[in-house]
Structure 1
Amino acid sequence: MSNKKSGYGNWVAGKRSKWITLLVWIAAAGLLSALLPSVNSQEINNSPNLKSGKPSVQADAVAAREFPSGSDIPALVVLHKGSGLTETELDVVRKLTEKLSASPVPHQTAVPPFHTLPPQALQSQLSEDGSTFVLPVLFAKDAGAENLKEGVTELKHELVAIAGADPFAEPRDSADKLSARVTGPVGIQIDATGLFKDADVSLLIGTVLLVLILLLLIYRSPILALLPLVAVGFAYGVISPLLGWMASKGWIVVDGQAISIMTVLLFGAGTDYCLFLISRFRQLLRTETSKTRALLAAVTGSSGAIAMSGLTVVIALLTLLVAEYGAYQRFAIPFSLAILIMGIASLTLVPAMLAILGRASFYPFVPRTPEMQRERAARKGKPAPAAPKEPRNWAGRIVTGKPWTVLFVCLLFLGGLAAVTPQIKFTYDLLSSFPKDMESREGFAVIGEQFSPGELAPAKIIVDTQGKPVALGEKLADLPYVDVLSEPQTGKSDPNIVAYEVQFDLNPYSIEAMNHIPELRKVAEQALAESGVANPQDGVWIGGQTAEQYDNKTTGERDTRLVIPIVIGLISLLLLLYLRSVVATVYLVLTVIVSFFSALGLGWLVVHYGMGAEAIQGAIPLYSFVFLVALGEDYNIFMISSIWQKRKRMPLKQAIKEGVGETGSVITSAGLILAGTFAVLATLPIQVLVQFGTITAIGVLLDTFVVRPFLVPAITLLLGRWAFWPGKLEPVGEKDSALK
């Protein structure tokens, strides 16, 4: 081996440099963790996802200026008793509102003065069957989730003290006891934050245990099983304080969802990169007596594929920076930085630890050369061991034996799954991602059963009348989906500004309700135009949760249309630079795109028919695409690199057969671990993560067991020498040509 080829390996895993590399990582992780804040300490949940120019955000700004008392966010306290609320329970409402009026809980801004109403007026607020009462308590709009939780917790204590029992512990459908639930925008925000906060620890423990168990089952070595986890631990020790520092400076915003998925990505992809090197090292130890030469050869042979794989994922994730939707943007830096540092750890720290441990890394199944095995047997007075059997390479034999059959079966299977995607239904309803027994979801269910579900989140239509009489109220009242229309309010600083609150007769978070937002705008603009208002399109603002969700939907769809082509383009460019083959670049990208749509189709079948979900969250396709296309190319790069190298010294058919066999076990192991880590997300009580984890895990498995071992090699063999175009490789031992 030339010094040029082994120079990098000597630099990180030489006789002395291996200790220096290890000490550098220990010092980096220790000092950064001690001097900088952790990423978890800088977590900010419920950050705005929409920019100031979005219509719903502009409407909120107008509402805050002209209707300050109506710009706060409500917590809806739902009181219910199946047999009907009596005067005793209504007296609890009076005492509670009197208490909250005199001594507001933290961050409370207002509460209706129900304690001042006569009995008949309070009775009129009950549901039709007299079983339910909804008490709105307003909180400051700028209060964070923790502040809101503090206020609601105090509110609950007050209610329990007044009621003399705990109505929050009673079943929501109790017939003879008072039950209470807090829902509305405040309750939903508190529950969403709590779900992600509680998920962090359980997700980390579950991911670590899964990776450890899979590594033990696959490699049967306790030391080797711990080695990738140690590398991930050191990488996280650098990643967490760096992200925490960036967040403390205000350069990025991190939330619980991003941290949860980043943890999974770090363990899954990080372990994969470690295994790419470890498997090559183990393979060489069976033919090379010197562990040092074996390691240097392993580093030289796998570092290019590892670096390229990591760079592909980093570039794909950074593409999310061009998105307008806040949640997408917040993923870009944490995810890409995590993969970048993990890739560096895989190329430096892991070789150093392997150099220190040597063959002992694989104890008790230590790989040795045949000569070493014979010498060891002789020392122990045992007969020489039989020559090791050649590993079974059934996938390579099938692909090279019947490439057309393999191609047809793969495309039929993947295409059939992809054909399911037009049936997929999407939702942007945050409540549907909560467990059914979550407090805010239970409260919403009671409101939907006893009142109009639109009461949970009314839409606010604000118009600038320019001092002219506008018959907007009549037009809104005539709309078939409007259940309740409030009296008009005039602006505080501008009396020409008029606002109506509209309660839908359906779930305000549903796509059907969101699709009514453009119609409401059209009706308002038409009413202004008929009254002679100039430029009516500039004088209409629609706010509220439904309008915000509509903007989320349109912004997310815009980002999907923009991000996906950019990701495909950048990954294609990287592959072209690495492989120097236009043809290979095209079919490698196309195979992972087909794999993505197949995963989406199969994922829908599992989520819809297996898990009972009526729809998947609207953000899932973009999230899954970015991860699956980037991670799917990792396996293609690792395998195709092996074929490309072997093709220089053997016929293409043999190179494909050996390349598939050589990379098969490590890619299968890596795929199982990566899919397993994403599947851990499916154990969480958050539907958006359950669906994302399920679909991504399915996509990884399709890449691992269909695309990589069968589809890509079959296409490569069928294209023959054209797979390398415009590169020209002289045939070795046989004439290579495209099969016809």
Structure 2
Amino acid sequence: MPAWIKRLATVPGGRRTKWLVLAAWLILAVGLGPLAGKLGDVEDTSPNAFLPRGAESARVNTELEKFRTDALTPAVIVYTTSADRLTPADRAKATADRAAFAKLAAPGEQVAPPLASQDGRALMTVVPLDLNDELTARIDRIRDTVAANAPPGLDTKVGGPAGSLVDQIAVFDSLDSTLLIATAIVVTVLLLITYRSPVLWVFPLISVGFAAILTQAGTYLLARYGHLPVDPQSAGILMVLVFGVGTDYALLLIARYREELHRHQDTHEAMKIALRRSGPAIVASAGTIAIGLACLALADISSSRSMGLVGAVGVIAGYLAMITILPALLVIAGRWVFWPFVPRYGTLVHQGPTVWERIGTTVARWPRRSWLMSVGVTAVLALSALGIDMGLNQSELFQTKPDSVIAQDKIAGHFPSGASAPATVITRTDRLPQVEEAARTTPGVAQVQEGERTPDGKLSSVSVILKDAPDSPAAYRTITGLRESVGSVEGADALVGGTSAQVLDTQRAADRDLRTVIPVVLIVVLLLLVWLLRALVGPVLLLATVVLSYFAALGASNLLFEHVLGFAGVDWSIPLLGFVFLVALGIDYNIFLIHRVKEETAIHGHRKGIIVGLASTGGVITSAGIVLAATFAVFVGLPLVTLAQMGVIVGLGVLLDTFLVRTVLVPALALDLGRWFWWPGSLFRTRPELPAPQGQEMAEPQYQRR
């Protein structure tokens, strides 16, 4: 470690500088606190926030802004009866509601009479609404209107793009507070269990609180002035990531600090040494996660870019808090924070082998058998990933169906399935007749209607109703055919957008992102591991184990999705986001383990160094893995299936890394390869079984049962 970094590492634990660190964070919290509360002001909730950049459907949304000053979005009200036919009272109800809707529609827009289905059992009314801050209030008033005085047997639902958008906004509005409260409770309980102290758990949470303020304020400033993309989903996941990663670093630092307190009477000296020895592993971990997440900037899908870049900000903020304010608080408080298990100077004695020492000894006895068994287990789980059904339609995105999803199901049962969400074609007005004819003759198109024109008359919109449900494979085929048909009209410059087109573009972009981002992440993580270990063979094997763990987690998650949670499939964004999160977070624990193993190998030799390293880090890494998995498990209870799936796959992957990969597979591979694991580094060139030269700084660690 460079000398200046060593000196910098002593600052939080210094006798005087600890107070400067505390004062700096208090000033920072007071100054940035108001900005942290403004993160919601810069969240992008526009139609393009979750679409691929440059996608045709996104370009249509941009072009639609030219048609009128205020963007429009339709609410679709569907009336259905359980009887054979609608009654006169049912029709009178729909007609009366139409008059009330006229007061809620966008200025200058008309509400067409209710449209009857061919089977005579349903009516549909479309209300054009302004896409502004009053949209939620207007949808609520529409829902109150249709529910009031409904005749017996008449069921009313409000859906369409406006209803769906409001239902999603309702989910995201409660997302931040729900996740924050649930995550704080989970982390608190696990810290209490881990430390068995009524005091110590408070300090990591206080430090995470400081990190949260820095994260939210920094994200707000970067979004406001640096064009950082922030959407509601990434903003919600941000706090979970800060809690999980920050707590991991706190556990690692506190464990090393506790160990040094047994060796040093002065708490300041103990903290300085703890920071010096755990610092490289923590900075390597934070750097790997942040850079890995930042690789999502290469993704086409806007929400993936947002989650990656925002997550990187959170990881950096969590790292800064855990190596500055946490050490300062611990040194200020003194040894008593560990009560009732206060570490006393000179009392660290060996009281027999620990669980992790026994595991290391067992793995060392049969290393090849151990890693073959581990690979076999993960490979069997990975096989389940081969049968994954990719893609979720609108009705499958929620664990509990909201009003808008039920409305879409009813529309699909009585009207042309695409009636609630027609495709939109933008074309040059002078080629409008040819474009309409091309659209009308496209297979899968039920109806073509001319829409609006821009004020200058140069562009026109065309509404195209599809025969099939907007989120069905047949609709996607129709969109592809429609783009070919209208695109062949010379001089029209026609673009096709709408709900079906957006889903199709997202699916195609997700496939491109997998092929683009994953290789970059693997290369970046490998280079970081090579830099950390000064070797090549070990980093390649470590990366391979994490990739294997990812496929095992994907397969195990698929089994849970199908047979326990009852999900219809896997969202298109999950494979990429799950891979990036698991590779970045999974390699985290390998870094903690191998960094300590490298230190111990230089002292004790290769075989004993691995056993000592595993025994030294076993307890803290296991605790960190459980905490991180539990924080992501909070997602499972959320109404959005996408977030629930993210929580399952990351949680399972972290547990696999913690209990199998890091505990058995990696040590077994390292033991079986011997000193070749460190090729071509200095540990390969030095006989690993020989002790380190005299004067080696680090003394052999000792252990005691906790």
- TM-score, normalised to structure 2, is 0.90
Cα distance in 2 for partners of 1:454, 1:258 equals 30
Partner of 1:547: 501
Partner of 1:282: 258
Which of 131, 154, 162 does residue 178 from structure 1 map onto? 154
Q: Indicate if the aligned counterparts of 2:53 and 2:301 stay in contact, CA closer than 8 A.
A: no
Q: Indicate if the aligned counterparts of 2:605 and 2:688 stay in contact, CA closer than 8 A.
A: yes
Establish whether residue 420 from structure 1 lines up as the match of residue 384 from structure 2: yes
Cα distance in 2 for partners of 1:244, 1:497 equals 37
Cα distance in 2 for partners of 1:70, 1:245 equals 28
Partner of 2:562: 608
The Cα of 1:346 is off from its aligned counterpart by 1.1
Which of 188, 192, 212 does residue 164 from structure 2 map onto? 188
CA deviation vs aligned residue, 1:460-481 (integer Å, no higher than 9, x gap) = 35666976985974885572x4
Change (3 A) 1:705 1:371: closer
The Cα of 1:279 is off from its aligned counterpart by 0.9
Change (3 A) 1:276 1:591: same
Q: Indicate if the aligned counterparts of 1:436 and 1:442 stay in contact, CA closer than 8 A.
A: no
Change (3 A) 1:270 1:64: closer
The Cα of 1:600 is off from its aligned counterpart by 1.0
The Cα of 1:633 is off from its aligned counterpart by 1.1
The Cα of 1:215 is off from its aligned counterpart by 1.1
The Cα of 1:720 is off from its aligned counterpart by 1.4
The Cα of 1:439 is off from its aligned counterpart by 0.8
Q: Indicate if the aligned counterparts of 1:370 and 1:387 stay in contact, CA closer than 8 A.
A: no
Establish whether residue 152 from structure 1 lines up as the match of residue 176 from structure 2: no
Partner of 1:207: 183
Partner of 1:382: none
Worse-superposed segment, 69-78 or 308-317: 69-78
Q: Indicate if the aligned counterparts of 1:188 and 1:431 stay in contact, CA closer than 8 A.
A: no
Which of 641, 666, 669 does residue 595 from structure 2 map onto? 641
Change (3 A) 1:471 1:273: closer
The Cα of 1:437 is off from its aligned counterpart by 3.3
Secondary structure, counterpart of 1:313 in structure 2: helix
Cα distance in 2 for partners of 1:352, 1:254 equals 32
Amino acid at match of 2:415: F
Establish whether residue 447 from structure 1 lines up as the match of residue 411 from structure 2: yes
Cα distance in 2 for partners of 1:620, 1:354 equals 39
Secondary structure, counterpart of 2:522 in structure 1: helix
Cα distance in 2 for partners of 1:99, 1:24 equals 58
Worse-superposed segment, 7-16 or 405-414: 7-16
Q: Indicate if the aligned counterparts of 1:306 and 1:638 stay in contact, CA closer than 8 A.
A: yes
Cα distance in 1 for partners of 2:458, 2:11 equals 74
CA deviation vs aligned residue, 1:479-531 (integer Å, no higher than 9, x gap) = 2x44x2235679678999887644334321234422432233334456x4xxx
1:66-145 alignment, distance < 5 Å: 72-83=72-83, 84-101=85-102, 103-105=103-105, 107=106, 110-114=109-113, 125-140=115-130, 143-144=131-132
Amino acid at match of 1:149: T
Give RMSD over aligned pairs: 3.1
Which of 353, 369, 379 does residue 405 from structure 1 map onto? 369
Which of 308, 312, 333 does residue 288 from structure 2 map onto? 312
Amino acid at match of 1:74: P
CA deviation vs aligned residue, 1:611-666 (integer Å, no higher than 9, x gap) = 11111110011111111111111111110011111111112111111111111111
Which of 193, 196, 210 does residue 220 from structure 1 map onto? 196
Worse-superposed segment, 46-55 or 232-241: 46-55
Which of 618, 627, 630 does residue 581 from structure 2 map onto? 627
Worse-superposed segment, 336-345 or 517-526: 517-526
Cα distance in 1 for partners of 2:436, 2:612 equals 74
Cα distance in 2 for partners of 1:220, 1:270 equals 20
Change (3 A) 1:108 1:307: farther
Cα distance in 2 for partners of 1:242, 1:132 equals 51
The Cα of 1:35 is off from its aligned counterpart by 6.2
CA deviation vs aligned residue, 1:317-374 (integer Å, no higher than 9, x gap) = 21122222211222233211111111011111111122122221211111224559xx
Partner of 1:260: 236
The Cα of 1:276 is off from its aligned counterpart by 0.6
CA deviation vs aligned residue, 1:208-239 (integer Å, no higher than 9, x gap) = 01011111112211222111111100111222
Cα distance in 1 for partners of 2:474, 2:191 equals 47
Amino acid at match of 1:564: I
Worse-superposed segment, 716-725 or 273-282: 716-725
Cα distance in 2 for partners of 1:216, 1:546 equals 49
Worse-superposed segment, 444-453 or 493-502: 493-502
CA deviation vs aligned residue, 1:391-447 (integer Å, no higher than 9, x gap) = 222321222111111111111111122222221111153442123431111111211
Partner of 1:297: 273
Amino acid at match of 2:188: L
Secondary structure, counterpart of 1:516 in structure 2: helix
Amino acid at match of 2:403: E
Change (3 A) 1:250 1:509: farther
The Cα of 1:709 is off from its aligned counterpart by 0.9
Amino acid at match of 1:333: L
Q: Indicate if the aligned counterparts of 1:454 and 1:503 stay in contact, CA closer than 8 A.
A: yes
Cα distance in 1 for partners of 2:340, 2:564 equals 41
1:297-446 alignment, distance < 5 Å: 297-369=273-345, 388-392=351-355, 393-446=357-410
1:709-728 alignment, distance < 5 Å: 709-728=663-682
Q: Look at both structures and tell me which one has the larger radius of gyration over its CA atoms.
A: 1
Q: Indicate if the aligned counterparts of 2:451 and 2:463 stay in contact, CA closer than 8 A.
A: no
Cα distance in 1 for partners of 2:400, 2:23 equals 50
Establish whether residue 518 from structure 1 lines up as the match of residue 472 from structure 2: no
Cα distance in 2 for partners of 1:678, 1:197 equals 19
Cα distance in 1 for partners of 2:664, 2:54 equals 49
Partner of 2:703: none
CA deviation vs aligned residue, 1:17-57 (integer Å, no higher than 9, x gap) = 11221121111111211467532344343451346742223
Cα distance in 1 for partners of 2:111, 2:35 equals 49
Q: Indicate if the aligned counterparts of 1:108 and 1:138 stay in contact, CA closer than 8 A.
A: no
Q: Indicate if the aligned counterparts of 1:418 and 1:600 stay in contact, CA closer than 8 A.
A: yes
Structure 1: stretches of 5+ with no match in the other structure? 115-121, 168-174, 373-385, 529-533
Q: Indicate if the aligned counterparts of 1:111 and 1:136 stay in contact, CA closer than 8 A.
A: no
